[in-house]
Amino acid sequence: MLESILKQDLRLFFHINGQWHNAVLDYILPLAREPYMWAPLYLFLALFVTINYRWKGFWWILFFLLCFALADQSSLYIKQAFGRVRPCRDPIVSHYARILVGYCPTSGSFTSNHAANHFALATFCFLTLKSALGRYTWLFFLWAALVGYAQVYVGVHYPLDVAGGAVLGIFIGLLSGSFFQRRIRLEPEQTS
């Protein structure tokens, strides 16, 4: 059963990485996974909550960072436990893969930290900012999915790595976002 799943994972990897590509995506997707592309969004959110919610905004930032740290460290722990080799480091797969980044990390492949981190933050933002942003909060998941897809596209992760990271991230985002909503909850400061 596991062998069949891994074969399908490899097959999907080669579709995403080797067949479903074009020059525009070859330019955009390596950039989408870089911190300088997504950091401005998260800095904007920090300013947004600080300006609109004052002290509760600072608590939101603290929980946001805690959510990120939990997802990142949990994913690193799982990587060490599984020890799956990345496609860009696999002696056989790397000869057939398109590696679109200059550096292939030496850490394990399962789970994707990028996917875990971004899905954790997407879930946290969805739960805590839904009252302020309404239906647009679903865009956080679209952003996380784009970053996860880019990890496979550039050749540093398999699809199963991204799916595992997404599940881990959503779980951590649910825990931290639900706790924040029960204990603090963003509400505009009352002015007297």
Q: Please state, in angstroms and as integers, the Cα–Cα distance from residue 183 to each residue in 45, 143, 154, 175, 189, following that order.
A: 20, 27, 40, 12, 16
pTM check: above 0.95: no
In tens digits, what is the pLDDT along the chain, a chain of 192 residues?
889 999 999 999 999 998 988 999 999 999 999 888 888 989 999 999 999 998 899 999 999 999 999 999 999 999 999 999 999 999 999 989 999 998 899 999 999 999 999 999 999 999 999 988 889 999 999 999 999 999 999 999 999 999 999 999 999 999 999 999 999 888 765 554
Say which CATH class 9-183 falls into: mainly alpha
Query: Residue 73 has which token pair?
Result: 């460290």
Question: CA 48, CA 51: separation in Å to the nearest integer?
Answer: 5
pLDDT at residue number 118? 97
What's residue 189's pLDDT? 56
Spell out the domain ranges in the chain: 9-183
The confidence score (pLDDT) of residue 192 equals 47
pLDDT for the residue 1 = 87
Q: What is the maximal distance between C-alpha atoms in the chain? A: 68
b (16+ CB within 10 A) / e for 25-41: beeebbebbeeeebeee
* pLDDT for the residue 70: 97
